[in-house]
Amino acid sequence: MTKDLVARYLQEYAEHFGLDLRLGHRVRRIARSDRGPWEIETSAGTWHSQVVVVATGHYNRPRTPSWPGRDDFAGRILHSADYATGSAFAELRTLVVGLGNTGAEIATDLVEQGAAHVAISVRTPPPIMPRDLLGFIPVQLLGLAFAPIPAPRAIDAVGVALRRVAVGDLSKHGLSKAGWGPFTARRPPVIDVGFLRELKAGRIEVRPALARLAPSGAVFEDGTEDAYDAIIAATGFDTGLGELLDLPDAVDEHGLPRSPSGRPTAYPGLYFIGFDERPSGHLHQAKAESRRVATLIARYFEADAPSDPEAGMAAPRAAGFV
């Protein structure tokens, strides 16, 4: 689906159910409150709610490494979050740092938009799968079919065989075998939307991990150096939950919730959605988690809501989604 179709669906969904959306308000802090279970500080004031569902996701705060020599680099450095189109890099020698789905798509777009030279720095080669296996089977269907099977290593072994047939040997193009498996690592693979075509045609050069920057370019971990006009950091994001949640031990050392998404947490009335990665994809996983959370919230209100003696029914409660 295109982004416009997804956006239209979300808009129509909100209109159909009459959701009270507060757009353009940044949440700065979530904490327990004396007036109620939760106090949410936002750019539009402080809100109070019996339930808070945090669905801000993995990709909240851009993470750019502090490479040695960064201040000396004469070219342009930007994070993938600030990348809009490869046309801004036409005729420029450009290095993409990081081969995930974002890095692969940016490198492909740079080639298509006329960059003078495109290289991609890879620390750990990822598994790469075609979007449509054998030309007609959407690869996500395999992720959905294999997800319930409690044998991740065996499934990843099957994936290696499928990639050997569908993708071929990439070592002659600079990429060694994948350093992790999607089901063992519980991460989606890189879905190819043109990267392999440009790689095999020699229009994308694979380079080792980036060690440091020089005034005119980059120095890699193997000691080689090359000149670049621009560097795009496809180096991922932080969740930002450590700064958002004023709650001890709610977030682990990786910035992720200690409680699984879609499950009860150590804090009554607090839930998470969209933080557990799966090869089946974020949207499919979030759908399943949202159904579980809706049930948990209903039970939480039923168990905790005081009765209104005049109305003869439970008093209404508020739930906030961040």
Q: pLDDT tens across 103-114, in order?
A: 999 999 999 999
User: Is the pLDDT confidence value at 133 over 90?
Assistant: no
Q: What pLDDT does residue 34 have?
A: 74
Q: How confident is the model at residue 316 (pLDDT cuts 50, 70, 90)?
A: very low
CA angle 85, 86, 89 (to 5 degrees): 125
Q: What is the 3-state secondary structure (H, E, C) of the chain?
A: CCHHHHHHHHHHHHHHHCCCCCCCCCEEEEECCCCCCEEEEECCEEEEECEEEECCCCCCEECCCCCCCHHHCCCEEEEHHHCCCHHHHCCCEEEEECCCHHHHHHHHHHHHCCCCEEEEECCCCCCEEECEECCCEEHHHHHHHHCCCCCHHHHHHHHHHHHHHHCCCCHHHCCCCCCCCHHHHCCCCEEECCHHHHHHCCCCEEECCEEEEECCEEEECCCCEEECCEEEECCCEECCHHHHECCCCCECCCCCECCCCCCCCCCCCEEECCCCCCCCCHHHHHHHHHHHHHHHHHHHHHHHCCEECCCCEECCCCEEEC
User: Is the pLDDT confidence value at 102 over 90?
Assistant: yes
Fold agreement between 3-60+239-321 and 61-237: yes
Least confidently predicted of 54-68, 96-110, 111-125: 54-68
Measured on CA atoms in the order 269, 273, 275, 280, is the torsion positive or negative?
A: positive
Q: pLDDT tens across 217-227, in order?
A: 999 999 999 99
The β-bridge relationship of strands 313-314 and 307-308 is antiparallel
Indicate the average pLDDT of the chain. 89
Domain positions in the chain are: 3-60+239-321, 61-237
Q: How confident is the model at residue 320 (pLDDT cuts 50, 70, 90)?
A: low
User: Is residue 166 a contact partner of residue 137, using CB atoms and an 8 Å limit?
Assistant: no
User: Is residue 107 a contact partner of residue 101, using CB atoms and an 8 Å limit?
Assistant: no
Q: pLDDT tens across 140-160, in order?
A: 787 778 877 888 899 889 889
Measured on CA atoms in the order 133, 137, 141, 147, is the torsion positive or negative?
A: negative
Q: How confident is the model at residue 285 (pLDDT cuts 50, 70, 90)?
A: confident
Task: Calculate mean pLDDT across residues 45-55.
Answer: 93
Structure tokens at 236: 């991922």
Q: What pLDDT does residue 132 have?
A: 83
| Architecture in CATH of 61-237 | 3-Layer(bba) Sandwich (3.50)
The β-bridge relationship of strands 117-121 and 93-97 is parallel
CA angle 198, 126, 124 (to 5 degrees): 110
Measured on CA atoms in the order 208, 213, 217, 223, is the torsion positive or negative?
A: negative
**CATH code, 3-60+239-321:** 3.50.50.60
Which residue from 255, 230, 234 is spatially nearest to 245, judged by alpha carbons? 255
Q: pLDDT tens across 213-253, in order?
A: 999 999 999 999 999 999 999 999 999 999 999 998 899 99
Instruction: State the Cα–Cα distance between residues 169 and 171, nearest whole angstrom.
Output: 6
Residue that is written with structure tokens 């680099």 in the block: 73
